[in-house]
Structure 1
Amino acid sequence: MKNFIRKYFKLVCISLIVILFFTMAMSLTLGASDVSFRDSIALLLSKIPFLNNFVDKSNIKDTTEIILMNIRMPRIIMASLVGCILSVVGGTFQGMFRNPMADPFVLGMSSGASLGATIAIILGLDKYIFGVGMVNVLAFLFSILTVFLAYNISKVGRKVPTMNLLLSGIAISFFMSSMVSLIMILNRNQMEKIIFWTMGSLSSASWKNVIALLVVSVIGIGINLIFSKDLNIMTLGEDSAINLGVDIEKVKRILIVVCAMMVSFAVSSTGVIGFVGLIVPHVVRIISGPDYKKLTILSSIVGAIFLVLCDTLSRTIAPPMEIPVGVITSFLGAPFFIYLLNKGKKRGL
């Protein structure tokens, strides 16, 4: 499989993009209002420059188009972007920390975002000002603050030892999680809102959020690709990387800042969605190998497909009730990850 992907990498990427397109089209058809697969494909193609001249959508009702383009489409695109971000950041952190168990929230970003969102909900700030949700704003700010604290606590002179960074992230994460639990106990009337947010949901998706996430993901993935060679070298060990001319501390600083911004934007928009950034890059690495350029590109597409599928399940599995997408990703991800660990253990024996 690794040799096949290495030889036909572009073909594999194109195939995955086609699968993503059809997954999004299929997701558009599912929901309270049924829409045919043909109509969903026609609407998708009608929004693509040059192709829209060859698409006939005269048979599609205006109400159907509004439902698809203003409600379902932003949500589906946001799911793909968030899945893409979490998978890319997970793969980057696994390489940078040389730890296959690292995920996008390893530095406590999810706990920080949860605390920010909890404070906003308790203070009654779950409103929109100039089209921006204050819960999202506080979640973003606290997420960034968490990374800033973890980074500065772990610094030793001008260096940031990897182990120190991981341990400080874990410590701050536990502290902020305990703060969230304390606030929930003291404000039981708001507990349901807080729990629902911390489980992750894409129900508040809008085109504004989609555009912001698109910009962040394009810039973030581009920077990750630029440093993919450095990550490949860093897997050999920090001493070897330094001898080969890699500025370890500079690479860490840049990637931590970029990844923190990516995850903070994602988690502030959707809440905490676990296992995506842990499972997807782990599986992709097994199939494609350790090259971080290929890993970043493939993880971004596979992560998008995975979260679109999970979100589709979350809103269609028990209508009219919506299950938080974080529950679906954990339900699917945890057993699969246990299977991978067990398989690796047997291989090791």
Structure 2
Amino acid sequence: MKLWMIIIIGVVLSFISLFIGAIDIKPSDLLNWESDKTQIFLISRVPRLIAIILAGAGMSIAGLIMQSLSQNKFVSPTTAGTLDAAKLGIMISMLFLTNVTYTQQVIFSFAFALVGTLVFMQILDRIKFKDVIFIPLIGIMYGNILSSITVFFGYEADILQNLSSWLMGSFTLIIAGRYELLYVSVPAIILAYLYANKFTVAGMGEDFAKNVGLSYKFVLNIGLTLVAIISTSVVLTVGVIPFLGLIVPNIVSIYMGDNIRKTIPHTMAVGVVFLLICDIIGRIIIQPFEIPVNVTVAVIGSAIFLIMLFRGRAYAK
């Protein structure tokens, strides 16, 4: 599919997203600048759309970087423990810091996401049997371990319910002033594009990268830092959105190949379209209530993930 076609689909879905919800808003309602519906549109609907666009593009790019650097199509922030590590960092900050601030939560979440991802990459280096399906299963188990630690200490400190409700992937609470952290994903995506060719070379293996004069460790650290920045911004703003960074890069690679510089625009566009579709489904299926976007993404994403698992070897070659 051509990029301009995906963009047109995204624009149409964005328009739909702006005018659906518990409160019915029509384009004609915006003619009265002082009306309550106009204020709702500006304070809630527009920020929500921006958050969807940034989260969809960011998490898709994060998955693309991880798949390239790990040389595995089934690795993503979901299947490498990155999101679970970010959650653990938030819990630790709430547990050990008195009157924890938002900035402190950002720092802890970023640090744990980065360290957690580095640990996973170290685990990959020590695994001899690097089967295309075996690796993400290890990542899922690793993420479950981190998640179990979070649940245990959260339960002991009686903050589990607060943590779980806050980190549930949903755009329901997104309003002006509560989504701006997502803008940090913009420079991260720009850096990903600038380093795209280096990520592609690094994805061919450490020996190959060194033979062509590339600093493999430096590029690897840059990539994992970008993944941690994007994942942290999404987790702290929206919550955990599973499978997005896993399936979108795979869908794009089917018709675009594995050159990251060429696939980044398509990956961003497809990620935004996919997340818009999931969000719209969650908002219209049981109106006036709303299904959290992590539920719709998980249902659709898990089905696609199973299909890719069964056809994994064909996609990986």
Say if 2:32 is the partner of 1:63: no
- Residue 148 (structure 1) shift: 2.8
Aligned-partner SS, 1:273? coil
Structure 2 counterpart of 1:250, from 218, 222, 243: 218
Q: What is the one-letter code of the residue matched to 1:138? A: Q
Q: What is the one-letter code of the residue matched to 1:231? A: F
Would the aligned equivalents of 1:154 and 1:164 in 2 still touch at CA under 8 Å?
no
Matches within 5 A, 1:203-214: 203-214=172-183
Distance 2:104 2:6 in 1: 34
Q: What is the one-letter code of the residue matched to 2:172? A: S
Identity of aligned residues (%): 26
| 1:26-53 deviation line (CA, Å, top 9, x unaligned) | 01111122233x549xxxxxxxxxxxxx
- CA distance 1:340–1:64, shift in 2 (3 Å): same
Match of 1:283 in 2: 251
Distance 1:277 1:91 in 2: 7
Aligned-partner SS, 1:207? coil
Would the aligned equivalents of 1:108 and 1:169 in 2 still touch at CA under 8 Å?
yes
- The number of equivalent residue pairs is 308
Matches within 5 A, 1:139-158: 141-148=108-115, 151=118
- Residue 276 (structure 1) shift: 0.5
Distance 1:186 1:268 in 2: 22
Q: What is the one-letter code of the residue matched to 1:247? A: S
Match of 1:9 in 2: none
Provide TM-score, normalisation by structure 1.
0.76
Structure 1 counterpart of 2:291, from 318, 323, 345: 323
Matches within 5 A, 1:194-205: 194-205=163-174
Q: What is the one-letter code of the residue matched to 1:218? A: V
Say if 2:125 is the partner of 1:163: yes
Distance 1:120 1:246 in 2: 37
Structure 1 counterpart of 2:149, from 169, 179, 188: 179
Match of 1:90 in 2: 63
Distance 1:176 1:139 in 2: 18
Aligned-partner SS, 1:208? coil
Matches within 5 A, 1:1-349: 12-36=2-26, 38-39=27-28, 58=31, 62-118=35-91, 134=102, 137-138=104-105, 141-148=108-115, 151=118, 162-164=124-126, 173-186=143-156, 191-214=160-183, 216-343=184-311
Distance 2:190 2:257 in 1: 20
- Residue 239 (structure 1) shift: 1.6
Q: Which runs of 5+ in 1 are unaligned?
A: 6-11, 41-56
Distance 1:210 1:278 in 2: 23
- CA distance 1:73–1:91, shift in 2 (3 Å): same
Provide TM-score, normalisation by structure 2.
0.82
- CA distance 1:320–1:193, shift in 2 (3 Å): farther
- Residue 269 (structure 1) shift: 0.9
Q: Which runs of 5+ in 2 are unaligned?
A: 128-134
Match of 2:132 in 1: none
* Bigger relative CO (Cα 8 Å, ≥ 6 apart): 2
Distance 2:60 2:8 in 1: 19
Q: What is the one-letter code of the residue matched to 2:16? A: M
